[in-house]
Amino acid sequence: MDAFPATRQSALQRLDEFLSVASRYAAERNHVLPGHPNVSRLSAALRHRLITEAEVVEAAMRQHSFRAVEKFLQEVLWRSYWKGWLEMRPPVWARYRTSADHLVGNIDPDMAAACREVAEGRSRSGVMNHFARELRETGYMHNHARMWWASFWIHHCGLPWELGAQHFFRHLLDADPASNTLSWRWVAGRQTRGKAYLASAQNVRKFCAPEILERAGDVGFDGRASARASVDDEHADVTAAVLPLLSQSVDPRACQQRVALVLHDEDLCLETSPAAGVRPVVILQFIKEERLLPPRAHWLGQARADAARRTREHFRCEVRACSTRAEIAAAGAAEKIERVVMMEPHVGPLRDHLQGLADEPSLRGVGMDHLRRRWDAELLPQANRGFFPFWNKVGRRLEKSGLEGLV
């Protein structure tokens, strides 16, 4: 099996294998070992919904008591929390994109060289170099190592957090706009006022496997770095907005109309989604043209092909690839489409690309169903404060009633 499952079947198999040791997750998850046996390695499959958070939670609670796997359930719920937090604060995403683009276009040559040195694994820290190379070669980095590496980038090397976040987003198989952006903000001290994450050599030596330390060499930094002061008001725009209500079922009119179903990278399992009962005349798989780095390109190619096959078999309908809104509109016009159905993308690049689809001239007057899984509809609006108030509500609900009302 692949180290990071890229098909629904292999992801379900990996989940089943991991659950046999899931009760040890709380004690062992922070230890960074070769091959990462202490964690599920399902983050990419979850990011693209080859499997869903609800499926993972349900399987874990079926095999274990709530208390035995509570820490693992929390880690799964962090993904939904970050998504909800950013959904209610889209200016944070827009500001990050603007800032990153400005830095790329106006970066000082010395800083650009320093960014390349750290990103390519040529810094003064042997251990951080090891993780930098692992990321480039595999598209993965253990979560604890991500915190160390981000802290090293920001607080020890003095590099802009936005460029570090952009580097991770380009390389990670599980690159998620919310989790990635907000985690980097948190390490930088921008997410939670007065708090930043400062990695220490002592913590690295405690949790990093001896064989990695021996092979990589010196940790290369001590604990004397301090959080960089925020020079702008990064804590603005954090008041939670009200999430728009999106349907959890297809408009009944879709049963009598000619429907185009859009398949995209944020939900690659439409057969388990609210769109499962649609009978489309065409399925349009939106794949934005972009230069992806080899590990991510290979993984996404497998996942997309698996999704196209399953979608074609479930809906008994042709799947066509589209790379622009105009191509979707043209295909819709050719098929005399009366309605377009898709799972609503979360705040991030995919939503940015698909915004304005209804304004394409050939789709004006065509019905649009933007759907949301019940899990998202129920949980994302609750991410209006910090994670632990969110978890206290959701965790109590899971412990008392399981997934009742969430799927």
H helix intervals, 268-324: 294-315
Q: When comparing pLDDT for 57 and 242, which is higher?
A: 57
Output the pLDDT for position 247. Answer: 86
Q: Look at 169-178, 245-254, 276-285 and tell me which has the smallest mean pLDDT.
A: 245-254
Tell me the pLDDT tens digit for each residue of 134-147.
Answer: 999 999 999 999 99
- Please determine, for residue 350, whether its predicted confidence score (pLDDT) is greater than 50: yes
pTM: 0.96
Contact assessment for residue 168 and residue 188, using Cβ atoms and an 8 Å cutoff: no
- Kindly report the CATH number that applies to the domain delimited by 252-371: 3.40.50.620
Tell me the pLDDT tens digit for each residue of 201-216.
Answer: 999 999 999 999 999 9
Instruction: Please tell me the distance from the alpha carbon of residue 34 to that of residue 144, in angstroms, as a whole number.
Output: 13
Q: Any idea which fold 8-87+378-401 has?
A: 1.25.40
What helix, strand, coil percent values describe the chain, rounded to 5?
Answer: 55, 5, 40
Q: Look at 4-13, 32-41, 94-103, 240-249 and tell me which has the smallest mean pLDDT.
A: 240-249
- Kindly report the CATH number that applies to the domain delimited by 119-216: 1.10.579.10
H helix intervals, 257-384: 294-315, 325-334, 349-354, 374-379
- Locate 300 and state its tokens: 């996404």
Output the pLDDT for position 244. Answer: 84
Average pLDDT over residues 22-28: 97
Q: When comparing pLDDT for 129 and 227, which is higher?
A: 129
Output the pLDDT for position 290. Answer: 83
Contact assessment for residue 163 and residue 115, using Cβ atoms and an 8 Å cutoff: yes
Q: CA of 20: how far to CAs of 12, 30, 68, in Å?
A: 13, 18, 12
- Going by C-alpha positions, the residue among 280, 364, 371 that lies closest to residue 317 is 280
Average pLDDT over residues 331-355: 96
Q: Determine the 3-state secondary structure of 267 from DSSP.
A: strand
Q: CA of 113: how far to CAs of 99, 120, 135, in Å?
A: 19, 10, 19
Output the pLDDT for position 221. Answer: 84
Q: CA of 274: how far to CAs of 209, 332, 370, in Å?
A: 44, 21, 10
Task: Give the rounded distance of the alpha carbon of 148 from its chain centre.
Answer: 19
Q: When comparing pLDDT for 333 and 230, which is higher?
A: 333
Tell me the pLDDT tens digit for each residue of 166-198.
Answer: 999 999 999 999 999 999 999 999 998 889 999
* DSSP symbol at 23: G
109, with CB counted inside 10 A (0-12, 13-18, 19+), is exposed
Task: Give the rounded distance of the alpha carbon of 26 from its chain centre.
Answer: 22
Domain extent listing, the chain: 8-87+378-401, 119-216, 252-371
Q: Are strands 259-263 and 319-322 parallel, antiparallel or unpaired?
A: unpaired
Output the pLDDT for position 291. Answer: 84
Instruction: Please tell me the distance from the alpha carbon of residue 77 to that of residue 71, in angstroms, as a whole number.
Output: 10
- Locate 371 and state its tokens: 């759907």
Contact assessment for residue 215 and residue 130, using Cβ atoms and an 8 Å cutoff: yes
φ, ψ of residue 20 to 5 degrees: the values are -70, -20
Output the pLDDT for position 233. Answer: 44
Contact assessment for residue 355 and residue 387, using Cβ atoms and an 8 Å cutoff: no
- Going by C-alpha positions, the residue among 352, 300, 304, 348 that lies closest to residue 324 is 352
Q: CA of 136: how far to CAs of 141, 292, 310, 339, 404, in Å?
A: 9, 12, 30, 42, 41
Instruction: Please tell me the distance from the alpha carbon of residue 15 to that of residue 209, in angstroms, as a whole number.
Output: 24
